[in-house]
Amino acid sequence: MSKEKILVIDDEEDILELVRYNLVKNGYRVTCVTSAERGLEKLNEETPHVILLDLMLPGMDGLDMCRKLRNNAATANIPIIMITAKGEDADIVTGLELGADDYITKPFSPRVLLARIRVLLRRNRQEDVDETSVLKIHDIVVNPVRHEVLVKGTPLVLTATEFGILHFMARRPGWVFSRDQIISAVKGDDYPVTERSVDVQIVGLRKKLGDSGDLIETVRGVGYRFKE
């Protein structure tokens, strides 16, 4: 059974109990608090492997806490799953851009939440993989050293930007990225590009990938992800 520590921050007691029950049942060590301020206190006592963070909190809200965590070297790399209400697309995008790793909307299935946590933990263990390593996922092979992409053994001709987007997203299957995150990862911060330009690049990349183009999924109101 797993021994990873999960910190859950939500001001709804029924959500906390549901999450606590299912996580403990699956072997996780769980700490639940009802405010960001209390969550920060707990972080000073012990470092969790994952934080589940509600966006709508009394006092300091989830977005402010996410910003605070990412600006602190001691907590900058702790995976964060945002818990949001439906219709909070703008907050989801902001949270992702502040550094949250994933999100789940209320009401949610405990099985889905557990799957998201397992994926994050697995990703976190793999984050130290050399970015020059050859990547094989689905029927796609990406060789960053040779700047080469093969789909079912057939080489593709990609622009530098298309290659960068594909490599960035395929290394993190299942992660949801906003358009700003994608362009910052590929071109660097403050690169002058519109969201529409990112969409155009994705369309072109999907077309070149052919039948594998649907591996790049649109997450409505948020951005894109590479299918896990």
Q: Which has the minimum average pLDDT: 22-26, 28-32, 74-78, 115-119?
A: 74-78
Question: What pLDDT is attached to residue 184?
Answer: 77
Per-residue confidence (pLDDT) for residue 128, from 0 to 100 = 46
This prediction has a pTM of 0.62
**Average pLDDT of 212-218?**
94
- Per-residue model confidence as pLDDT tens digits over 36-68: 999 999 998 888 999 999 998 999 999 999 999
> How confident is the model at residue 1, as a pLDDT?
43
Does the pLDDT of residue 178 top 90, yes or no? no
- Cβ proximity of 144 and 158 under 8 Å: no
Q: Which residue has the tokens 């039948």?
A: 211
Q: Would 5-126 and 135-226 be classified into the same CATH topology?
A: no
What is the Cα gyration radius of the chain?
A: 19
Task: Specify the fold of 5-126.
Answer: Rossmann fold (3.40.50)
Q: In the sheet that 102-106 helps form, which strands lie side by side, from edge to edge? A: 29-33, 5-9, 50-54, 80-85, 102-106
Q: Report the percentage of the chain scoring pLDDT > 70.
A: 89
Give 189 or 82, the one with higher predicted confidence. 82
- Answer with the residue of higher pLDDT: 21 or 144: 21
Residue 62 amino acid letter = G
Give the three-state DSSP class for 216. strand
Q: Give the C-alpha separation, 19 to 109, whole Å.
A: 10
Domain ranges for the chain = 5-126, 135-226
Q: Which top CATH class is 135-226?
A: mainly alpha
Residues 157-170 pLDDT 10s: 888 888 889 998 98
Is the pLDDT assigned to residue 75 strictly greater than 70? yes
